[in-house]
Amino acid sequence: MAVKQQYYSEHPKFHVALDCIIFGFDKGELKLLIHKRRFEPAKGLWSLFGGFLAEGESLENAANRILRELTGLEKIYMEELQTYGNMDRDPAGRVISVAYSALIPAHKYSEEYSRKYGATWVSLKDLPGLIMDHDSMVEKGLRRLKRRASSQPIGFELLPKEFTIPQLQALYEAIYQSKLDKRNFRKKILSMDVLVKLDEKDKSNSRKGAFLYRFDKRKYRKLVDAGYSFTI
Amino acid sequence: MAVKQQYYSEHPKFHVALDCIIFGFDKGELKLLIHKRRFEPAKGLWSLFGGFLAEGESLENAANRILRELTGLEKIYMEELQTYGNMDRDPAGRVISVAYSALIPAHKYSEEYSRKYGATWVSLKDLPGLIMDHDSMVEKGLRRLKRRASSQPIGFELLPKEFTIPQLQALYEAIYQSKLDKRNFRKKILSMDVLVKLDEKDKSNSRKGAFLYRFDKRKYRKLVDAGYSFTI
DNA sequence: TGATATAAGTGTTATTATTACACTTAAGTA
DNA sequence: TACTTAAGTGTAATAATAACACTTATATCA
């Protein structure tokens, strides 16, 4: 700290905040986890999960702490999206905010937690307006998600360990926001050879039932290491 | 400011810095513009162009100001890459640094400026070690550049207004770091129908000379707006 | 218990995109 | 005028994508 004073003390300092964009997938829909802001300004309005960077913590740690404090979610892999630093983005003063985002299986976030923390899944189709520049954060996060989904097998980690092909297809359709041909989808996804078919069926969606599959991480790793790039 | 005090004053503030990663393309090679750092700590060591965010300026503006002050470059479109906030990234104290990057035509940066500002183009192949985490910033910037190049016609804006197809191909080869078939390259690039052939030839690279082309921005915009996505 | 409704599952063909590959041409220099 | 060098050109084989409709399994209801 003494050294810091020596070199940099003439420069101004700023509040640094973190905002967490949590996308989830549930019942064939892409959703966003939001809550009503707990502090002024804009208290009570819909907001992403945000808070301030503290002394002695890295940006990643801060984002994870804030998410945990506000939602109870732990061990979520979030990725930095963008840093927002416009002068007027926060009416209460200059705040530089680093936005992080993650896509999680919505089934991981229980009703119980939702009640306890007041965090709510809202379908992207009927998203309310969010405070400050949170809308544009979400928009940017969604753009990246779509781009990602079309080149990485992003979906596998978002479903329960065992899932059906129609479920996986619904996930991709939700991300792309368009319909896919089920024969072509099945062909493509199976040709990657990273799914293991099980003997059981899931009958929650049809009388006939759909066979359950499991994602083979070892094979997946091998493919990726060999430079294979996925495209749906 | 009064309002700011009211709500946020209990939170700590941080130094916020900007670092500029400037890639350039010249003589068939990808290069990086760097200089020897002018202030402590690490004064005199190779570094990206960095400086501190000032009161009353946005991140973008600050990045542009810093680039201008240290290199003389103006009106460069830089894009935010990532924000670095590890505790120990700067030995002189806690600094949150937002990295911006750009790819520019190296011919835009004259010898004269280079002498005046002490900024030097260095081929990526023989890059010296850079201070702090600047190496990983460059690495990340390069990864993004490669990804970009394969899906957007990024190259057009990096060459002089008039350029030849072999020059354009050399640029893509430099970014991908691999050879491309000239017949296939030409076919693909011309099939996009965004280049206008001129009557003159450029004879700087061969006796025969290669026809000059110009990038048709109007057609390009139309294509992009119609949802076309480029792939080389 | 047989009819019905519903989602799962299955192949083939046409079209398009990608890759591989070798000779000719233009023009300056010796 | 022969030589050298990079620019320029076409085709065929292969692979990837897109379009398309019927059958199957099984729970539910008459």
Which pLDDT does position A1 carry in this prediction? 44
Q: Judge contact between B153 and B192, C-beta under 8 A.
A: yes
> Tell me: the pLDDT tens digits for B89-123?
998 889 999 999 998 878 778 888 899 999 999 99
Q: Considering the entire predicted model, what is its pTM?
A: 0.84
3-state SS class at A96: strand
Q: Judge contact between B194 and B220, C-beta under 8 A.
A: yes
* Cα-based angle B176, B181, B184 (whole degrees, multiple of 5): 105
Nucleotides on strand D lying under 7 Å from protein C-beta = 4-11, 16-21, 24-28
**Whether pLDDT at B156 is above 90:** no
With CB atoms and an 8 Å threshold, state whether B52 touches A92: no
Tokens matching residue B131: 């201070």
**Whether pLDDT at A60 is above 70:** yes
Which pLDDT does position B2 carry in this prediction? 44
Q: Which of A79, A69, A70, A137 is nearest to A104 (CA)?
A: A79
**Spacing of B177 CA from D15 C1' in Å:** 24
**Spacing of B196 CA from D12 C1' in Å:** 29
CB proximity B77 to A under 8 Å: no
> Tell me: the pLDDT tens digits for B42-73?
889 999 999 999 999 999 999 999 999 999 99
Nearest chain A residue to B90, by CA: A4
Q: Judge contact between B63 and A19, C-beta under 8 A.
A: no
The CA distance from B92 to B82, in Å, is: 21
Nearest chain B residue to A62, by CA: B85
**Whether pLDDT at A2 is above 70:** no
Q: Judge contact between A122 and A36, C-beta under 8 A.
A: no
Nearest chain B residue to A92, by CA: B4
Mean pLDDT, range A82-108, rounded to an integer? 91
User: Which residues of chain B are within 8 Å of residue A38 when distances are taken between CB atoms?
Assistant: none
With CB atoms and an 8 Å threshold, state whether A92 touches B8: yes
**Whether pLDDT at A77 is above 50:** yes
Nearest to A58 among B12, B87, B95 (CB): B87
Alpha-carbon torsion angle B89, B92, B94, B97, nearest 10? -60
The most distant pair of C-alpha atoms in chain A lies apart, rounded to whole Å, by 73
Q: Judge contact between A23 and A101, C-beta under 8 A.
A: yes
**Spacing of B183 CA from D8 C1' in Å:** 9
3-state SS class at A38: coil
The values of phi and psi at residue A71, to 5°, are -130, -20
Mean pLDDT, range B35-44, rounded to an integer? 88
Q: Which of A188, A62, A169 is nearest to B94 (CA)?
A: A62
Give the protein-side footprint of strand C (Cβ within 7 Å).
A 164-166, 182-184, 186-187, 201, 205-211; B 181-184, 187-188, 201, 203, 207-209, 231
